[in-house]
């Protein structure tokens, strides 16, 4: 990732990891590879969300910063091309072109227009048939602000208000367009000005009349307000074709097609690219011209992992600032749609999401109400927001620092202070919205002590309780050690959850491996089952322990453990794309009541491809198989950047949907999986207490339409393999030897 992104937003790939300790031998991982196979396609489907394209060559770039039209003899079939710029795109499309003749599909990646396209300046040339274009007017934005784009928060400063100045003497002041963010001319010489203030629309001015627009385009208030059109009512945050959000690009072609380039608010951390093309079409009933949506291209994820509302059967899926609707009966790329924007910078101008990257999402139900929890790629803090049934907008509710202090600038006037010395090194601040208005007041802040300030372990269980990783035994005399949990005990009358900062529950780590270091964890409250990962460094885990009755019976012996095959091939440092492809680097995991899901920094353990999710049976710690991006995505995925880069939701029929970060093509992967009910093979590096006697078990799956005979014994030639014969629901037969 570009160093400038890292500097500005503290968002970066794990570029260099200082590793210590001994690694598992290469032979362990290699020996296991032949035993574990891909989950058959009869039992899983691959999907993605948040990008119109799914491959590097057709994905839509992230958060455009400029956009113009361009025509050339060499691109005749695509003219006019839509050229765009982005501050950064993980898929290498920082400067992208889109084919306006083919639904806006990506046309190519170039850089020659890097310094030539600008959305804040535009020239108008009068055109008459058979004559050369004649220059008429140039307009440009003076004191460009760009509210909530890259660096600027809140309304424009009063001492340098932005305005539009034109060479013909027309000046459009801030009282007419509060925050001009893009300009273009139509074919009649009228000036179109995007207003990035609360109006979130396009104002159109005739030459010589800069004080009042002749008309506007787009719903006033954009996506953020309640609106009614005919019989259709849209709640705040609900998307619509003329409900804009953060316009950064405007263009009009010779046929009058209007191109609107939204970049979201804020553009990089919560927004994304949303380009819409509107054509002029005659209304056959009224005889007047209507502007109708011709096509739309979207790239709405930037190093993100999604999560589903647990009450939605995996259909309502959230990122940090957006909601999507999934239909898993449709083909990959067609199964998602954007339905809502959950961040309103005008109503909640101090929402932490405006300034702080929050790549990881959890959605939970507390007392039947929806909440989202977020953290950054390192697990430095926990942010909480709540939803109501009358809006898509999430109301800021809590912010709890564990390590980083990312809101110090935005909330500098309200944060608690203390002397930052050795005696107070465990102090962290927190904010809980006492009055429920979503805006912080000084009496809503407090100070708490963390005993695990340098640990990236973080999980939100299904009850909304917050779990933090740690190391070794709880040592009250030193205020350190162990893992701990902040309980949530219901809701206050204003809908704010009772996060009990004063009732921390602590547990000693029940194993000694790696000094009892737990950098990742997952707790399933309904089963009182705890998954604790251990490692020799903060980034890559080498084993996961499974504990039943963890809270009830702590300390307990593990049910079993999974050897994750961590292997650096003898290297003491890991640099992404510098030999990391032959290593096995488990960076992230999640789990549900029955299965464990593991993701990797680079190539997966068994497929040797990026994007692999390896699945283990949590009852036996045996390998079930793996899933990875297929041909519909070009067999491509980027690296997992996040320490919490996977989520899973369990459906009522037993199916699972596994979400995985995939920043390489600006999307989120979604694997819908139907478990067969039994591990397909045993990983020789995993073990469970007790011996396995030979037995034959017949397992019924999916309404008796599938039968598996599992023959378990001492292993084949001592390799610890399981022989599986399967018959699927259309009568085909096979075995794990049919690879």
Q: Give pLDDT tens digits for 23-62.
A: 332 223 323 434 689 999 999 999 999 999 989 999 999 8
Q: CA–CA separation, 718 vs 715, rounded Å?
A: 5
Q: Using an 8 Å Cβ cutoff, are 659 and 642 in contact?
A: no
Q: 240: burial class by Cβ within 10 Å (0-12, 13-18, 19+)?
A: middle
**pTM attached to this predicted model:** 0.86
Q: CA–CA separation, 486 vs 468, rounded Å?
A: 8
Q: CA–CA separation, 93 vs 61, rounded Å?
A: 6
Q: How high does pLDDT run on average in the chain? A: 85
* Per-residue pLDDT at 74: 80
Q: How far apart are the first and last CA of the chain?
A: 37
Q: Give pLDDT tens digits for 592-618.
A: 999 999 999 999 999 999 999 999 999
* Per-residue pLDDT at 453: 74
Among 163-177, 234-248, 574-588, 689-703, the range scoring the smallest mean pLDDT is 689-703
Confidence label for 724 from pLDDT (cuts 50, 70 and 90): very low
Q: In sequence order, which residues have a C-beta less than 8 Å from that of residue 203 and are 6 or more positions away?
A: 176, 177, 192, 193, 195, 213, 216
**521, two tokens:** 């964890």
Confidence label for 291 from pLDDT (cuts 50, 70 and 90): confident
**258, two tokens:** 């209007």
Among 366-370, 471-475, 720-724, the range scoring the smallest mean pLDDT is 720-724
378 has pLDDT over 80? yes
Share of the chain above pLDDT 90, in %: 68
Among 115-129, 195-209, 248-262, 567-581, the range scoring the smallest mean pLDDT is 115-129
677 has pLDDT over 60? no
Q: Using an 8 Å Cβ cutoff, are 13 and 575 in contact?
A: no
Q: Using an 8 Å Cβ cutoff, are 75 and 354 in contact?
A: no
Closest CA to 471 of 506, 508, 428: 508
691 has pLDDT over 90? no
**Residues 278-297: what's their mean pLDDT?**
81
736 has pLDDT over 90? no
* Per-residue pLDDT at 703: 30
711 has pLDDT over 60? no
Q: Using an 8 Å Cβ cutoff, are 613 and 56 in contact?
A: no
30-34, 205-209, 715-719, range with greatest mean pLDDT: 205-209
558 has pLDDT over 50? yes
Q: CA–CA separation, 574 vs 130, rounded Å?
A: 63
Phi–psi pair at 478, nearest 5 degrees: -105, 0
Q: Using an 8 Å Cβ cutoff, are 269 and 140 in contact?
A: no
* Per-residue pLDDT at 733: 37
Confidence label for 282 from pLDDT (cuts 50, 70 and 90): low
Among 149-153, 237-241, 461-465, 586-590, the range scoring the smallest mean pLDDT is 149-153
Alpha helix (H) residue ranges in 541-680: 550-553
68-82, 132-146, 433-447, range with greatest mean pLDDT: 433-447
DSSP state of 40: P
Alpha helix (H) residue ranges in 43-186: none
Q: CA–CA separation, 662 vs 733, rounded Å?
A: 34
* Per-residue pLDDT at 371: 98
Q: 462: burial class by Cβ within 10 Å (0-12, 13-18, 19+)?
A: middle
685 vs 474, higher pLDDT: 474
Share of the chain above pLDDT 70, in %: 85
Dihedral angle computed from the Cα positions of residues 118, 123, 128 and 134, in that order, rounded to the nearest 10 degrees = -130
* Per-residue pLDDT at 288: 67
* Per-residue pLDDT at 349: 92
Confidence label for 116 from pLDDT (cuts 50, 70 and 90): confident
Q: Using an 8 Å Cβ cutoff, are 666 and 62 in contact?
A: yes
Phi–psi pair at 343, nearest 5 degrees: -125, 125
* Per-residue pLDDT at 286: 63
Q: CA–CA separation, 403 vs 453, rounded Å?
A: 5
Q: 3-class SS at 429?
A: strand
Alpha helix (H) residue ranges in 140-187: none
Dihedral angle computed from the Cα positions of residues 404, 407, 411 and 416, in that order, rounded to the nearest 10 degrees = -10
* Per-residue pLDDT at 284: 63
- Find the helix or strand (DSSP H, E) in which 451 lies: none
Among 77-91, 186-200, 325-339, 431-445, the range scoring the smallest mean pLDDT is 77-91
697 has pLDDT over 60? no
DSSP state of 439: S
Closest CA to 531 of 579, 594, 479: 594
729 has pLDDT over 80? no
* Per-residue pLDDT at 411: 84
Q: Using an 8 Å Cβ cutoff, are 708 and 681 in contact?
A: no
Residues listed for the chain = 739
Among 314-323, 410-419, 519-528, the range scoring the smallest mean pLDDT is 410-419
**Residues 105-117: what's their mean pLDDT?**
81
Confidence label for 493 from pLDDT (cuts 50, 70 and 90): very high
Q: Give pLDDT tens digits for 504-532.
A: 999 999 999 999 999 999 999 999 999 99
Alpha carbon distances (Å) from 688 to 24, 546, 618, 624, 706 = 19, 10, 10, 15, 27
Rg (CA), the chain: 27
Q: Give pLDDT tens digits for 238-261.
A: 999 999 999 999 999 999 999 999
Among 376-380, 546-550, 573-577, 624-628, the range scoring the smallest mean pLDDT is 573-577
**Residues 129-140: what's their mean pLDDT?**
86
């Amino acid at each position: 990732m570009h160093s400038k992104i890292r500097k500005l937003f503290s968002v970066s790939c794990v570029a260099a990891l200082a590793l210590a300790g001994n690694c598992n031998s290469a032979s362990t991982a290699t020996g296991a590879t032949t035993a574990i196979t891909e989950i058959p396609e009869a039992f899983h489907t691959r999907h993605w969300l948040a990008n119109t394209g799914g491959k590097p060559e057709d994905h839509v770039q992230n958060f455009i910063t400029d956009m113009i039209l361009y025509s050339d003899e060499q691109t005749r079939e695509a003219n006019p091309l839509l050229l765009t710029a982005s501050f950064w795109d993980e898929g290498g499309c920082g400067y992208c072109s889109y084919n306006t003749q083919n639904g806006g599909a990506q046309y190519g990646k170039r850089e020659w227009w890097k310094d030539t396209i600008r959305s804040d300046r535009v020239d108008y040339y009068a055109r008459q048939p058979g004559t050369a274009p004649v220059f008429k007017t140039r307009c440009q934005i003076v004191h460009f602000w760009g509210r909530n784009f890259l660096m600027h928060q809140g309304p424009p400063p009063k001492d340098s208000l932005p305005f539009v100045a034109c060479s013909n003497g027309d000046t459009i002041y801030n009282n007419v367009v509060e925050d001009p963010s893009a300009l273009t001319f139509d074919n009649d010489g009228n000036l179109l000005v995007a207003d990035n203030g609360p109006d979130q629309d396009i104002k159109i001015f005739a030459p010589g009349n800069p004080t009042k627009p002749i008309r506007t385009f787009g719903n006033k208030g954009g996506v953020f307000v309640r609106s009614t059109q005919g019989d259709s009512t849209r709640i705040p945050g609900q998307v619509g074709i003329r409900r804009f959000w953060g316009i950064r690009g405007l263009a009009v072609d010779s046929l009058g097609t209007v191109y609107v380039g939204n970049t979201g608010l804020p553009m990089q951390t919560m927004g994304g690219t949303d380009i819409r093309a509107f054509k002029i079409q005659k209304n056959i009933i009224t005889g007047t011209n209507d502007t109708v949506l011709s096509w739309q291209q979207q790239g709405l994820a930037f190093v993100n992992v999604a999560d589903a509302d647990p009450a939605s059967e995996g259909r309502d899926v959230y990122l940090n600032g957006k909601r999507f609707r999934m239909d898993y009966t449709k083909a990959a790329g067609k199964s998602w749609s954007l339905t809502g924007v959950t961040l309103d910078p005008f109503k909640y101008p101090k929402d932490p999401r405006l300034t702080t990257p929050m790549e990881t999402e959890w959605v939970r139900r507390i007392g039947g109400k929806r909440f989202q929890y977020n953290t950054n790629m390192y697990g430095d803090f926990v942010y909480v927001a709540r939803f109501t049934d009358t809006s898509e907008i999430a109301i800021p509710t809590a912010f709890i620092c564990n390590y980083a202090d990312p809101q110090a600038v935005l909330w500098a006037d309200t944060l608690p202070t203390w002397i930052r010395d050795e005696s107070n090194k465990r102090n962290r601040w927190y904010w809980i919205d006492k009055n429920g208005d979503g805006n912080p007041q000084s009496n809503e802040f407090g100070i708490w002590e963390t005993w695990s300030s340098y640990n990236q372990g973080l999980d939100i269980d299904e009850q909304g309780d917050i779990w933090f990783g740690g190391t070794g035994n709880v040592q009250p005399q030193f205020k350190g050690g162990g893992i701990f949990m902040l309980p949530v005990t219901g809701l206050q009358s204003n809908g704010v959850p009772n996060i009990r900062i004063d009732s921390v529950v602590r547990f000693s780590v029940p194993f000694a491996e790696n000094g009892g270091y737990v950098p990742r964890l997952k707790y399933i409250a309904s089963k009182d089952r705890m998954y604790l990962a251990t490692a020799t460094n903060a980034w890559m885990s080498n084993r996961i322990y499974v504990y039943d009755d963890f809270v009830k019976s702590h300390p307990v012996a593990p049910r079993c453990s999974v050897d994750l095959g961590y292997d650096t091939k003898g290297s003491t440092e890991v640099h992404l794309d510098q030999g990391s492809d032959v290593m096995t680097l488990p960076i992230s995991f999640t789990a549900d009541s029955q299965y464990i899901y593991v993701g990797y920094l680079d190539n997966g353990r068994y497929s040797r491809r990026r994007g692999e999710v390896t699945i283990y049976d949590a009852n036996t710690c045996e390998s079930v198989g793996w899933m990875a991006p297929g041909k519909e995505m070009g067999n491509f995925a980027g690296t997992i950047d996040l320490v919490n880069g996977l989520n899973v939701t369990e459906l009522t029929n037993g199916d699972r949907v596994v979400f995985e970060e995939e920043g390489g093509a600006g999307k989120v992967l979604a694997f819908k999986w139907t478990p067969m009910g039994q591990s397909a093979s045993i990983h020789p590096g995993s073990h469970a207490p007790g011996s396995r006697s030979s037995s034959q078990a017949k397992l019924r799956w999916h309404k008796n339409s599938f039968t598996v005979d599992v023959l378990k014994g001492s292993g084949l030639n001592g390799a610890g393999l399981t022989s599986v014969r399967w018959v699927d629901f259309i009568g085909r037969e096979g075995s794990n030897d049919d690879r």
